[in-house]
Chains A and B, each alone.
Chain A
Amino acid sequence: MTWHLDPAQVRGYADGTTGGARAASVEAHLLACADCRGLLAAAAPTDRLTAVWNAVQETVDSPRRSWIEQLLIRARVPEDDARLLAATPALQASWLLALVGVLAFATAAAGADDRWLRIFLVVAPLVPVLGVAGAYGRGIDPTYELTRATPYPTVRLLLLRVVAVLTVSVIVTAAFSSVATQGWDALAWLLPSLAMVGLVLVLSRVVDLPLAAGAVALVYVIAVFGLLLRRRDVVDLFARSGQLVSLCVAAACLAVVLSPARRAAFRRVP
């Protein structure tokens, strides 16, 4: 490098009075010379540069939003809630893929054979339940212990995540079931499923959420086996009476979960 900027040139360039060719000259030089860049830095508008750096920091440090968060924010979910939801294990890609996998298999099988259709109807209500199991709880959420020591209301965190997971699993299951079968049958699983989720939420007041979900799922499976052993058709579970019972159970559980008196009790310390 045979020449460098002198103070006059620095000033001239910085305040924009340097003419075309000379400026081009300066610019080409600056691309290659760190010392002259340093000289110029002293003459540049520091206030603006500081403000811009703060903005860069904000953007760069802001947690890079995962696709879930971006989706939620676009759906007008507040930024904080979106963050909490994105941390839900059951909404991670691996869980969702597993859910989809199970349903895809069940759907494909249902299309092949009527018997398999029954199996689909039996499996479908469990999917949201298992999804909810992955919403929050010891063993599921790696930061469970830490979360317990924070002032954030457990009830809110739980419900927020459960609602999100439920929405996703219900939609996904509905999509698959509309492929597997036609008409009202496609939604036969919905009410029983909601009833079970309701029971899980009520039970989670006493035991951990994943455990509650496992217990309810187990009871359901036992009931199904009971029916099969008595040579009754599984579809009976989803008949009108079954739907009515499910509706009542779901409504009752909802009332319990959302009652203000119980909301305080939700913040239990075992």
Chain B
Amino acid sequence: MPADDRPDTDLVSAAADGDRTALELLYRRHAPWLLLRLQRRCADPGLVDEVVQDTFVAVWRGAGRYDGRGEVAAWIWGIGVRRLVDALRRRPHGIQLPVSPAAEVDLSAEERVLLGVEYGDLAGALDRLSPELHAVVQATVLDGLTTGEASRLLGIPQGTVKTRMMRARAQLREELA
């Protein structure tokens, strides 16, 4: 396929108009990172593939509803993560917890600086959260899910989500104080 440097927003408009090649381009640009990001939240590759498929079908059908605000990538993630939540609700599966920060031994000085650029002291504090607390923070804060969606994603009751969020906040506050 010849190189196409139309911006994502143009591609979405074109897709809303029935342009299939625009959808294909969006897929090539966004499906890889979406797949990998979903894979970090769900251990089942079959389910992840299904969710990616459903997401891009939804992108095609809902292209007209993209309001142009915010990055297209963020819009696609919003669709994708909600599809994941739905899929897990219908079929409870093993959840992939994020790799324990402890597994990462070496952080080079440069990497520490880079992390500091994105999240400041928070990054280190986040790393020190236990996997369960980290998962809850990731789901609600980083992935933008509601408590209900987070509970479905992680397979825990809503009450537990709230409790763990409180514990995580308390721990982070303590660390950053």
Chain A directly contacts chain B within the complex, with at least one CB pair under 8 Å: yes
Which positions in A face B, CB cutoff 8 Å? 2-3, 13-14, 16-25, 27-32, 34, 37-38, 40-41, 43-45, 48-49, 51-53, 55-56, 59-61
- A60 and B57 contacting across the interface, CB-CB below 8 Å: yes
List residues 1-28 of chain B with CB under 8 A from any CB of chain A: 8, 20, 23-24, 27-28
- A20 and B99 contacting across the interface, CB-CB below 8 Å: yes
Give chain A nearest CB distance to B99 CB in angstroms: 6
Instruction: Output the nearest chain B residue to A37 by Cβ-Cβ distance.
Output: B33
CA distance A158 to B34 in the complex (A): 49
Binds A, one of B36-44, B85-93, B153-161: B36-44
- B73 and A52 contacting across the interface, CB-CB below 8 Å: no
Chain B hits for A49, CB < 8 A: 31-32, 35, 52
- B29 and A2 contacting across the interface, CB-CB below 8 Å: no
- B98, CB-defined interface residue at 8 Å: yes
CA distance A48 to B57 in the complex (A): 16
Give chain B nearest CB distance to A17 CB in angstroms: 7
The 6 lowest CB-CB distance pairs between A and B, nearest first, are A44-B32, A19-B104, A41-B32, A25-B118, A21-B126, A21-B123
- A17 and B35 contacting across the interface, CB-CB below 8 Å: no
Chain A hits for B77, CB < 8 A: 31
Chain A hits for B20, CB < 8 A: 60-61
- B126 and A24 contacting across the interface, CB-CB below 8 Å: yes
Chain A hits for B31, CB < 8 A: 44, 49, 52-53
Contact partner of A44 among B23, B35, B122, B127, CB < 8 A?
B35
Beyond A17-B104, A31-B73: 15 further Cβ-contacts under 8 Å? A16-B39, A16-B99, A19-B100, A19-B103, A20-B98, A20-B100, A20-B127, A24-B119, A37-B30, A37-B73, A49-B35, A49-B52, A56-B60, A59-B53, A60-B60
Give chain A nearest CB distance to B37 CB in angstroms: 6
CA distance A63 to B125 in the complex (A): 51
CA distance A268 to B125 in the complex (A): 82
CA distance A49 to B40 in the complex (A): 16
CA distance A60 to B62 in the complex (A): 12
- B45 and A21 contacting across the interface, CB-CB below 8 Å: no
Which positions in B face A, CB cutoff 8 Å? 8, 20, 23-24, 27-33, 35-37, 39-40, 45, 49, 52-53, 56-57, 60, 71, 73-74, 77, 98-101, 103-104, 107, 111, 114-115, 117-119, 122-124, 126-127, 129, 134, 138, 142
- B118 and A59 contacting across the interface, CB-CB below 8 Å: no
Q: How many A-B residue pairs have CB under 8 A?
A: 123
A–B pairs, 15, beta carbons within 8 Å: A3-B117, A13-B36, A17-B104, A18-B104, A20-B127, A21-B122, A21-B123, A23-B40, A24-B118, A24-B126, A31-B71, A41-B29, A48-B35, A56-B57, A60-B57
Chain B hits for A34, CB < 8 A: 8, 29
Give chain B nearest CB distance to A158 CB in angstroms: 33
- Chain B residues touching A, majority SS: helix
CA distance A56 to B52 in the complex (A): 9
Give chain B nearest CB distance to A110 CB in angstroms: 45
- A51 and B142 contacting across the interface, CB-CB below 8 Å: no
- A25 and B28 contacting across the interface, CB-CB below 8 Å: no
Give chain A nearest CB distance to B103 CB in angstroms: 7
Q: A30 and B33 in contact (CB under 8 A), knowing A20-B134, A56-B53?
A: yes
Q: A16 and B28 in contact (CB under 8 A), knowing A21-B119, A28-B118?
A: no
- B99 and A19 contacting across the interface, CB-CB below 8 Å: yes
Give chain A nearest CB distance to B9 CB in angstroms: 12
Chain B hits for A13, CB < 8 A: 36
Instruction: Output the nearest chain A residue to B127 by Cβ-Cβ distance.
Output: A21
Give chain A nearest CB distance to B101 CB in angstroms: 4
Chain A hits for B119, CB < 8 A: 21, 24-25
Chain B hits for A18, CB < 8 A: 99, 104
CA distance A198 to B34 in the complex (A): 59
Chain B hits for A32, CB < 8 A: 71, 73
Instruction: Output the nearest chain B residue to A48 by Cβ-Cβ distance.
Output: B49
CA distance A60 to B134 in the complex (A): 37
- A51 and B138 contacting across the interface, CB-CB below 8 Å: no
Chain A hits for B35, CB < 8 A: 44-45, 48-49, 52
